[in-house]
Structure 1
Amino acid sequence: MYMSRPPASMEASMKRTCEVLVLPVTPWQPPKPSVAAARAVAAATRLKNCATSAFIGLSKSCGLLATEYLIPGYQPRAKVVTPWNESRMVKLPVYLAWPLVLSTAVLAQQQEAPQQRVTAIPSMRAKQGTQPLPQRKSSYSFTLANTTWLDTGVTVAAGERLKLSAKGSFQLADGRKSGPAGVDRGWRDLLASFPMNAAPVGSLIGRVSDAGASIPFPIGEDDTVTAPTTGHLYLGVNLPDSITATGSFTVKLEFPKPEAVAPKALAATPMQDLTSMISPDTFAEVPRRVSDQQGNVGDMVNFALVGTRGQVEQAFKAAGWVQVDQSVDAAIVHGIMSTLSHEAYLQMPMSTLYLFDRPQDLSYARAEAISVVAVRHHLRVWNSGKTINDVPLWVGSATHDNGFEKDQRNGQVTHHIDPDIDIERKFILDSFDAAGVFSSAAYVLPDDPFSSGKTATGGEFHSDGRILVMMLK
């Protein structure tokens, strides 16, 4: 006996199954693709049509085979797949094919716009370079009623000269009294963390911008200073948080006539186009990581400087970094001399690491006196032997010590670094920008960027792989 169609119960079951599979979904409308993406969509559509035909043919064949094997003696005389079933089966591959179509289009878009390998970094000194200075008076008067930083609200330009004079006094909680010129440091002050370690206790200090990496400058009773960068002028008292004080300073700000005549723009130095001078090939022969004396790889190379050795040393000094002592013996002598002169000792040595098969040429740190042992920003610099427009290229590795951990090599105690070393890279940029020591900056993504690893002592770190490059002034 021949069957022209499956039993009613089987047909109802198949109908319910198909209705569950084919949901009334409105397909997502993708954005208008580019030419390359449109071609990819067309190719994927053709692939979808072929898949649809193959799916229907396979469904029919499977239906024939299934019926033929499950029902002895069965010989089909009509379509195994009923009209209602076929219409739904035609729709199913359409929904299944759309993800392929969309993903192909997205990939085409990404291939059409490859990742930027060299990216210019706008300086805080150039953000408003084409804008005129805000309207200013010839002079201002401010009152510091406490020891926190005061935002004067007055915008100054990089390179502009500022004449400042002050009077008044603060009574310190430890019994000392300080005027704008400050008082000499005592033994107890060696254990305190001052905003400006080189300035007298309680003296008037200033800074430009509120960037955390900006460097304060001394003012005292009367001084004319040059603004290192562009931004608001801040005034403060050189006291640590551990010393409270009551009183006030009255500060007068004036603009010397030569600069006050024509304050045309906020940017003082034209920014050079570093992006046209460097490329990923610039770092093709520069190792991605430094190593210790035993050859254990560690920190990654994450910044570079273009300048002479004198420019490099001057830039770090202006940005508040100090050269560390090269040996323990030198550290002992330097520490004793600093203590006898009541100065904070910040030049604690750091370990020697190797790049280009030689130890670092320069070592720098930035820290507070009270926490220099455990917490400090530090870096190492090597002359790469390469030049950019006949100017030496220096490369370096920077990390931020924020505590202690176990050295995985020998079980001893060593420094723990902040695993997000890109934050330290940004700190270097901010400190140099606030000091106004570079003319152009850019990020470069090398051909084989390094993203994560461990230091020579076993500490973990990660990065986006980019190298900060700065052209020094």
Structure 2
Amino acid sequence: MHGLHIVVAVLAIWLVLAYLALPAIWKRAERQAVLAGREMVTRTSQGIEGDPINFGLVGEEPEVLCAFRSAGWILADSVTLRSSLKIAGSVALHRPDPAAPVSPLFYDGRVEDLAFQLPDGVSAAHRHHIRLWRIGDKVFHDRPLWLASASYDRSVGLSHFTLQVTHHIGPDLDAEREFVGQALGKAGAIRSFFQIQGVGPTLRGKNGGGDRYFTDGEVLIGVVAENCQLNPGAPVAPPDNPPHVDLRSSIIHTLGGRG
């Protein structure tokens, strides 16, 4: 009878872990009605899933432009024959192209509204970059919401899907999300941060170029300083996440780093 009690207790613990505790770690209740049920991933012009949404801003367009400009980021050129030849020369000849274009991605059925980059080296082969889509005009405190995908270009090569020339991104998208947030925060362009549920945690994501990535699935949202009233050096507190969200992030980053 004693052995039966042990079996029942073990079974009960397993049921609680498997069907209550562990599933709760991988879920996050979304309290922002405007975002509920949204697909949080971009797509290429061929309809292939691209980079996930992992960043966002609250603010008017001039405030968003001011925020990135204050942090040293550069508005990317539009994709034209001239700009395409210029970025090709930058990579091939190892020379600067600070406003090099980014390939178009689509969200909500339309191409990005804004794109910025921060060169990391001499040529456009390595750079931080971000695409932003304006989602609504009066979403948070009567201010527009922008959702964005931020990633780091680590090399130039061929797309695994279309064989077109493209940049290949670094796999740790959460690191790039934090990099953008820290850059804007240090420039005094952000008043506060909060997080929302994004594409969901994954260790085996793949973007439109066939590059693998991992992410905890969260989207970092920064509330931009109104009227470009910057406050450089002012500390910006990180988002106050539920403990299970931080635990989930730790698990993903530990496993992703091993991959």
Q: TM-score range by the shorter chain?
A: 0.7 to 0.9
Secondary structure (helix, strand or coil) at the match of 1:427 reads helix
1:300 pairs with 2:52: yes
Greater RCO, CA 8 A, separation 6+: 2
Counterparts of 1:437 and 1:95 in 2: how far apart (Å)? Answer: 58
Contact 1:288 1:450 (C-alpha < 8 Å) held by counterparts: no
Counterparts of 2:182 and 2:153 in 1: how far apart (Å)? Answer: 18
Contact 2:50 2:206 (C-alpha < 8 Å) held by counterparts: yes
Contact 1:300 1:450 (C-alpha < 8 Å) held by counterparts: no
Contact 1:345 1:369 (C-alpha < 8 Å) held by counterparts: no
Counterpart AA for 1:406: L
Match of 2:192 among 424, 428, 440: 440
Contact 1:421 1:461 (C-alpha < 8 Å) held by counterparts: yes
Match of 1:419 among 158, 161, 171: 171
Match of 1:468 among 220, 226, 248: 220
| Counterpart for residue 92 of structure 1 | 3
Counterpart AA for 1:430: Q
Unaligned runs of 5+ in 2: 88-94, 226-259
The alpha carbon displacement at 1:344 in A equals: 5.0
The alpha carbon displacement at 1:302 in A equals: 0.9
Counterparts of 2:19 and 2:52 in 1: how far apart (Å)? Answer: 33
| Cα distance change of structure 1 residues 346 and 289 upon mapping to structure 2, 3 Å threshold | same
Counterpart AA for 2:162: N
Counterparts of 2:210 and 2:140 in 1: how far apart (Å)? Answer: 35
Contact 1:306 1:388 (C-alpha < 8 Å) held by counterparts: yes
Secondary structure (helix, strand or coil) at the match of 2:163 reads coil
Counterpart AA for 1:95: I
Counterparts of 2:168 and 2:84 in 1: how far apart (Å)? Answer: 24
Q: How does 1:35-46 map to 2 (within 5 A)?
A: none
Contact 1:308 1:391 (C-alpha < 8 Å) held by counterparts: yes
Contact 1:292 1:298 (C-alpha < 8 Å) held by counterparts: yes
Unaligned runs of 5+ in 1: 1-89, 119-277, 336-342
Counterparts of 2:18 and 2:169 in 1: how far apart (Å)? Answer: 38
Match of 2:207 among 455, 462, 465: 455
Aligned alpha-carbon RMSD (Å): 3.0
Contact 1:315 1:437 (C-alpha < 8 Å) held by counterparts: yes
Secondary structure (helix, strand or coil) at the match of 2:33 reads helix
Match of 1:385 among 136, 140, 157: 136
| Counterpart for residue 374 of structure 1 | 125
| Counterpart for residue 78 of structure 2 | 326
Q: How does 1:58-457 map to 2 (within 5 A)?
A: 90-104=1-15, 110=21, 117=28, 279-284=31-36, 286-329=38-81, 331=83, 345-370=97-122, 372-386=123-137, 387-446=139-198, 449=200, 451=202, 452-457=204-209
Percent identity of equivalent pairs? 28
Q: What TM-score do the two structures reach when normalised by structure 2?
A: 0.72
Contact 2:114 2:132 (C-alpha < 8 Å) held by counterparts: yes
Counterparts of 1:440 and 1:393 in 2: how far apart (Å)? Answer: 14
Secondary structure (helix, strand or coil) at the match of 2:216 reads coil
Secondary structure (helix, strand or coil) at the match of 1:320 reads coil
Contact 1:117 1:280 (C-alpha < 8 Å) held by counterparts: no
The alpha carbon displacement at 1:96 in A equals: 2.3
The alpha carbon displacement at 1:104 in A equals: 4.8
4+ residue runs of structure 1 moved beyond 6 angstroms? Answer: 113-116, 332-335
